[in-house]
Amino acid sequence: MGQQQLLLIVLGVIIVGIAVVVGINMFSASSVESNKNAVMSDLQNLGSMAQQFYRKPTALAGGGNSFASWTVPTSLATTGNGTYVAGTGDASQIVITGTGTEKGANGSAIVITATVTPTSVTMAVTNP
């Protein structure tokens, strides 16, 4: 083989190597973003459940206009997307924390908190 052919082979191997590294990085970033979106979706669902509990009268196993005794259902406390814990709630709001399964850019799990009030669910990413 001539020098030119060897040079083209080496150049081709370098280009393929770079393409593989870029592909792995893109997949990793996409995986983290997907997990973050899934945790946010689960938190929205749990927030809706908490609001439903808030509005339901105590005679029907609801909160009677209070979040104080609401807890995350055991079947939803751990999912394929992450784990969810409800903080101590009071009459006017409750905070639910979701910890994702994927590791973020800094090597630790994604943590998102949802503050649930009778009329809204607001989320904050505390560890991207």
Euclidean distance between CA atoms 77 and 85, whole angstroms: 7
Write out the E strands in the chain: 82-86, 94-103, 109-116, 121-127
Instruction: Give the CA angle between residues 84, 128, 87 to the nearest 5°.
Output: 30
In tens, the pLDDT along 39-60 reads: 999 999 999 999 999 999 999 9
* pTM passes above 0.85: no
Looking at residue 128, its pLDDT comes to 65
